Amino acid sequence: MNPDLAQERRRATFDPEQVTSLLYRGPENVRKRRYLQNAAIQDQVLRGSKPWAFQSRIEQYETALQMYIYMMNKLDEMGVTDPLERMYYQEAGAPHYYNPMALHTGMFIPSIEKQGTKEQKERWLPMARSLQLIGTYAQTEMGHGTFIRGLETTATYDPSSQEFVLNSPTVTSMKFWPGGLGKTSNCCLVMAQLITHGKKRGIHLFFVQIRDLKTHRHMPGVESGDIGPKFGFNSNDNGYLKLSNVRIPRENMLMRYSKVLEDGTYVPPTNQRIGYGTMVFVRAHIVTNSARGLSKACVIAIRYSAVRRQTEVSPGGPEAQIIDYQTQQYKLFPLLATAYAMYFTGRYAEDYYEQIASEIEAGNLESLNQLHAVCAGLKAFSTWACTAGIETCRLCCGGHGYSHASGIPKLYTYYTPGCTYEGENNVMMLQVARFLMKIYPDIKRGGPIHEFVQYLGADLTQKSCMTEEVALGCLLKAFQHRAARLLSDAAARIENLVRSGKSRQEAWDASTVALTWAAKAYCHTFVVRTFSQIVSDAAVDKSTKDVLTALCKLYAIDGIIENLGEFIEDGFFSPHQVSFLKNKLADLLAEIRPNAVALVDAFDYPDKTLDSCLGRYDGQVYPALYEYAKNSPFNEQEVLDSYHKFIKPAQTEQSQRAPMARL
Ligand SMILES: CCCCCCCC/C=C\CCCCCCCCCCCCCCCC(=O)SCCNC(=O)CCNC(=O)[C@H](O)C(C)(C)COP(=O)(O)OP(=O)(O)OC[C@H]1O[C@@H](n2cnc3c(N)ncnc32)[C@H](O)[C@@H]1OP(=O)(O)O
Ligand SMILES: Cc1cc2nc3c(=O)[nH]c(=O)nc-3n(C[C@H](O)[C@H](O)[C@H](O)COP(=O)(O)OP(=O)(O)OC[C@H]3O[C@@H](n4cnc5c(N)ncnc54)[C@H](O)[C@@H]3O)c2cc1C
């Protein structure tokens, strides 16, 4: 054990086990998670032969397939059915590979479960669960990802054969990007424009078999393939798909909410957007997933910062641990606080999703819009925080952060597409703004509105209650005030533009930056509120509560300092109050310092899930870096063939022109 890390753990003022328990919803879940992760870590089959970064793309894909199929079988044998528990096992078993069948389990099966009829579920789900059907969610096209009403793929109903005929009429209508579509899947859910009786009926989901179930060759009229190497996700065959007069039976349209009858009569859903439900489900889960990504980067950067020593602070004295530099703390501790904030908010979003999803199942669609706004906003807010935070953690590790040995570049390429997939973040924020503007008249009237948004009607002339003590309640009020004011500003801007003669749509289009500021501020407030509520309700001892409260305050204060203009432009905070906040920020960095390592230990990631020479629990960073480097295929031969092919002839040619000088 590295002595600095051992010392850090002795210095902690709280019991990390209590925090682990809070993060994973109780000791029984912690026990199960550890049991499953240890089972995966000890499994020889999952050991892998060489680090992923030294493998070709095809090797990465094959290793991923082999490992995930093996793990699915193991989980079935162990009787583990809960998706989260399955994910824990997989996270420890194959942390370096993105599952080529992730969309099969993550979107294909859930879409059938949520949007299929009873008969459809009985027909497809057993085959999907036994991998006879391997599916994906094929929505995005080369020409359209965001604007899904603009998708070009058509599904035209032919009453004479009671079939749909699917076509990709243009190059841009080709499905492009779906995970596992290129080579792995034999079927998919295709989002296409339904046409019956010659009329367009909007986009709907269709089950389409794309490959023969025995030979895996393409079905007639189907062309598909891999889209090539990407920034990350390279063990996945994100694919393209072109459909030419592909016929599928009428029963293959997902018909739980809308229907096409035998004669082609279209029965619309109660709400046209109910078919977007799988996206809402995934967005709710992306919040905790972002917390996972950011927290892993924090574990690596904070443990490494405790081990790494650089620069004599006093001449001839010992070099300081880099974690002792206030600037390093200022970069890392707010991110640590953000990772906690996102964990708790993700948990809240998942619970809220489940609550509203069961209301929707029961036919009550009243909260659909609010659920959509919450999930879209938190997905965007959390993925932005995660991706920016991972990059800061990488920079905090100096040169070694740039190596794959650190594990951080892999985290970055794995998590940054979260800002784009499942709804591009700016677009998602505009959906939040749309929701807020729609309920704004009710907010202003003081009509009956959900507690999530009640504060938005507050009196904007009020000033902050902040004193030198910097209480959490005052911090939350500051966020509420800023969100209410930015929303009011955006609304006023739109009204002014309308008064000046613009149409409502033109006024909206000329106000999207202001609307995005308001939506982000709303999401930020949501996170501060959730974090402070979970900390104040937490059943933990006083020392643990004190540490969590310090983190929560740091999250809030850092959010204010980083966006200071929005908190002071209307004089809400006085200059005096801003100086309280700045002082408190510095105090909190010092307060959190002795607990930083224990706070990252509390995330409870086994070394294998981190896959990092820098973030090891034992802190043996330097021997690990040396071992990693030795693994490079460059080092398999003392002299590479390329020396004989290129360097030697070049040297010979040069030495003929100018004889070599004596060394
Ligand atoms: C692999 C997935 C794993 C899943 C997790 C499983 C969980 C298991 C549990 C534990 C395991 C933990 C592991 C978790 C791991 C999670 C991480 C995941 C890794 C993910 C891997 C990659 C997956 C990527 C997949 C994709 O990207 S699929 C494609 C996604 N595409 C989009 O998101 C498209 C974005 N565009 C849109 O959504 C829409 O077009 C739009 C922008 C919203 C606009 O739509 P439209 O034009 O129709 O609407 P508007 O005119 O703007 O508005 C009209 C009204 O409609 C309302 N509206 C809009 N959308 C919705 C909605 N979704 N729901 C409800 N209502 C909606 C809007 O509010 C308007 O209402 P109005 O009243 O104002 O009129
Ligand atoms: C790794 C990865 C995996 C994916 N997996 C899948 C999958 O399994 N299945 C699937 O169907 N798709 C998948 N996708 C596709 C993904 O869902 C889309 O890329 C995403 O929805 C964004 O759409 P787009 O690419 O069309 O971006 P665009 O909409 O072209 O966005 C480009 C820019 O335009 C801006 N913009 C676009 N429209 C607006 C607007 N209305 N207002 C303001 N700004 C706007 C955006 O903010 C952005 O800055 C995946 C993508 C990636 C990267």
Measured distance CA(421)–CA(410) in Å, rounded: 17
| Separation CA 297–CA 560 (nearest Å) | 23
Q: Which of 91, 141, 163, 422 is catalytic?
A: 422
The rounded Cα 429 to chain-centroid distance in angstroms is 15
Side by side, the strands of the sheet bearing 222-226 are 175-176, 239-243, 222-226
User: How far, in Å, from the CA of 417 to the mean position of ligand 2?
Assistant: 10
Q: Around Cβ 371, how many Cβ atoms within 10 Å? A: 23
Task: Name the CA radius of gyration of the chain, rounded.
Answer: 28
Which atom number of ligand 1 is nearest to the Cα of residue 87? 11
Tracing tokens 């960073």 back to the chain, one arrives at 621
Residue 198 counted as an annotated binding residue: no
Looking up tokens 């792995």 gives 184
DSSP run (H or E) holding 260? strand 259-260
Quick check: is 483 in a domain? yes
DSSP-assigned letters across all residues of 196-245: ETTEEEEEEEEEEE-B-TTT-PBPTTEEEEE----SS-TTS--EEEEESS
**β-strands 266-267, 309-312: how paired?**
unpaired
Residues with CB under 6 A from ligand 1: 83-84, 87, 102-103, 106-107, 137, 139-140, 146-149, 179, 273, 276, 279-280, 282, 285-286, 289, 368-369, 372, 421-423, 427, 431, 434-435, 438
* CB distance 450 to 370 below 8 Å: yes
| 118: Cβ contacts below 8 Å, ≥ 6 apart | none
Sign of CA dihedral 536, 538, 543, 548: negative
Contacts 24+ apart (CB under 8 A), 496-499: none
Exposed, middle or buried: residue 501 (CB in 10 Å: 0-12, 13-18, 19+)?
exposed
- Structural domain contains residue 341: no
Asked if 277 contacts 290 with a C-beta cutoff of 8 angstroms, the reply is no
CA–CA dist 660, 413 (Å, integer): 46
Q: Please check whether residue 526 is in contact with residue 345, taking contact to mean a CB–CB distance below 8 angstroms.
A: yes
Q: Which of 302, 259, 233 is nearest to 5 (CA)?
A: 302
- Specify if 156 maps to a domain: yes
Report how many domains make up the chain: 2
* Per-residue pLDDT at 448: 75
Give the 3-state secondary structure of residue 658: coil
Q: Which of 567, 601, 635 is the last residue of a domain?
A: 601
Residue 436 counted as domain residue = no
Q: Of 298, 222, 202, 237, nearest to 99 (Cα)? A: 237
Ligand 2 pocket, mutate which of 177, 429, 505 (most atoms under 8 A from CB)? 177
Instruction: Give, using CA atoms, the residue closest to atom 25 of ligand 2.
Output: 145
Q: Which of 247, 269, 291 is the last residue of a domain?
A: 269
- Give domain status of residue 336, yes or no: no
Secondary structure E strands in 35-162: 135-138, 154-158
Q: Which atom of ligand 2 is nearest to the CA of 422?
A: 17
> Does residue 629 fall inside a structural domain?
no
Note if 319 is an active site residue.
no
Asked whether this complex has an ipTM greater than 0.90, the answer is yes
pLDDT at 488: 97
Atom of ligand 1 nearest to the CA of 148: 40
Distance CA 243, CA 287 (A): 34
User: How many CB atoms are closer than 10 A to CB 503?
Assistant: 10
Pocket of ligand 2 (CB under 6 A): 103, 136-140, 144-146, 177-179, 233, 238, 417, 420-424, 426-427, 430
Determine contact, residues 353/281, Cβ cutoff 8 Å.
Answer: yes
Nearest alpha carbon to residue 190 among 255, 132, 253: 253
**Structural domain containing residue 568:** 451-601
Token pair of 117, please? 């009829």
State the distance from the centre of ligand 1 to the C-alpha of 487, rounded, in angstroms: 23
Write down which residue in 228, 251, 269 finishes a domain: 269
pLDDT at position 54 is 87
For ligand 2, atom 23, the nearest C-alpha belongs to 145
For residue 98, being part of any structural domain is answered with no
Strand 163-167 versus strand 154-158 pairing type: antiparallel
CATH number of the domain bearing residue 469: 1.20.140.10
DSSP string, 550-571: HHHHHHHHHHHHHTHHHHHTTS
Tell whether 194 is covered by a domain: yes
Assigned token pair, 502: 């613009």
Give the ligand at the shortest distance from the Cα of 286. Answer: 1
Place of tokens 């899904």: 148
CA distance 595 to 17: 13
Ligand 2 atom closest to the Cα of residue 230 is 1
Cα gap 296→342, rounded to integer Å: 13
Exposure pattern of 431-453 as b/e (b: 16+ CB <10 Å)? bbbbbbbebbeebeeeeebeeeb
- The phi and psi torsions of 615 (rounded to 5 degrees) equal -100, 15
CA distances for 167 relative to 150, 174, 246, angstroms: 15, 9, 7
Q: Which residues of the chain have pLDDT under 70?
A: 49, 659-663
Selection from 317, 192, 305, 203 nearest residue 242 by Cα: 192
What residue type is assigned to position 59 of the chain?
A: E
Q: Is 228 annotated as a binding residue?
A: no
Among all bound ligands, the one having the nearest atom to the CA of 239 is 2
Atom of ligand 2 nearest to the CA of 107: 8
Domain at 148, CATH number: 2.40.110.10
Which token pair is 263? 């004669």
Strands 259-260 and 246-249: what pairing? unpaired
- Is 430 in contact with 412 (CB distance < 8 Å)? no
CA–centroid distance, 279 to ligand 1, in Å, is: 3
Given a contact cutoff of 8 angstroms between Cβ atoms, the answer to whether 470 and 553 are in contact is yes
118 alpha carbon, distance to own chain's centre: 32
